[in-house]
Amino acid sequence: MTVLTLSPARQKFWQIAHTADAELSIDHLLEGALAIAWEENPRMDLGHYRSLLDRMVSDLEPRLAAIAYPLKKVQAINQYLFTELGFQGNDHNYYDPLNSFINHVLDRRLGIPLTLSLIYMIIGDRLGFPIEGISFPGHFIIRPQHPDLEIFIDPYNKGEILFPEDCAAKLSQLYGEVVVLQPEYLAPVGIRRILDRLLNNLKMIYLRRREPDKALAAIERSLMLHPDIPTQWRDRGLICYQLDRYTEARIDLENYMKAAPYADDRPIIGRLIAEMDQEN
């Protein structure tokens, strides 16, 4: 399959995935999220959602221009997004795939930590108040890139402001036991990893919902971002096997076996390959 045979949404994502990390920006994050949503909704009006975000930035610009202190800027953004517009985490249906598509998050004002953070980051960047993503274990939070503001923000919880000790408490709460906060848990992540996390969320949701074609589509785009992840080859191979696409399944599963010689699931994968050999 060549790039020209891909759908327009997939071509758009391919272009972003093949942009060098040093050149990836918040605009690429937005366009990548739009491309993911566009593939799910081929008739989607991308311009409409870009305009929605532009309007939100225009509403906030005069408010932030009059504020000198960075913490007050955060509070103004929180007031606008979570009180006035009513953005919130979807506690009632957390694993609804719509929570992972930026168009539906903007329409319904419901999302998961990652997509609500993504919107916050896009708006902050356009307001000249850059914010970086933090791939916190089991959650996603953000941090203003300001030397005088050593805080984290949790958009899923209406912009809750967190200090490192709060992050430690949240981590233990998420896992139901005391977990030591490691420095890497609060390290910033790049655009590529954020898009990959979004796709992996969709992959897991669709596997849980037994929608293998959509899970496969998420894996394929994830492999555009990171082509050399053996576990993704394995998962793509297993889905292809389930869909009776045995040639593709065999290639991926054999590549996985070569790349992961000590994996615990090698006996299972080996049996599947043997079964395909017998059928052929």
Ordered DSSP codes for 114-150: HHHHHHHHHHHHHTT--EEEE--TTS-EEEE--TT--
- Residue 152 has phi, psi (to 5 degrees) of -120, 160
pLDDT for res 264? 95
Query: What is the 8-class DSSP label of residue 80?
Result: I
In the beta sheet, which residues pair with residue 131? 144
pLDDT for res 172? 87
Q: Roughly how many angstroms between the first and final C-alpha of the chain, as a whole number?
A: 24
Looking at the domain 191-279, which fold is it? 1.25.40
pLDDT for res 7? 93
- Please name the helix (run of DSSP H) or strand (run of DSSP E) that holds residue 188, with its range, or none: strand 188-189
Q: What parts of the chain have a pLDDT lower than 70?
A: 1-2, 4, 280
- Residue 88 has phi, psi (to 5 degrees) of -160, 165
Q: Is the dihedral of CA 182, 187, 191, 192 positive or negative?
A: negative
CA distance 70 to 134: 19
Residues of the chain with CATH 3.10.620: 3-189
Residues of the chain with CATH 1.25.40.10: 191-279
Give the ranges where the chain is alpha helix by DSSP (H): 8-17, 26-40, 46-65, 70-78, 102-108, 113-126, 164-175, 191-208, 212-225, 230-242, 246-259, 266-279
Do 226 and 116 touch, CB atoms closer than 8 A? no
Do 20 and 191 touch, CB atoms closer than 8 A? no
pLDDT for res 278? 80
Local structure of 161: helix, strand or coil: strand
Angle (CA) 88 89 95, round 5° = 145
CA distance 54 to 227: 33
CA distance 274 to 280: 10
Model-level pTM?
A: 0.93
Looking at the domain 3-189, which fold is it? C8orf32 fold (3.10.620)
Do 120 and 53 touch, CB atoms closer than 8 A? no
**Distance, C-alpha 29 to centroid of its chain:** 9
pLDDT digits (tens, 9 = 90+) for 123-135: 999 999 999 999 8
CA distance 73 to 60: 10
CA distance 165 to 201: 27
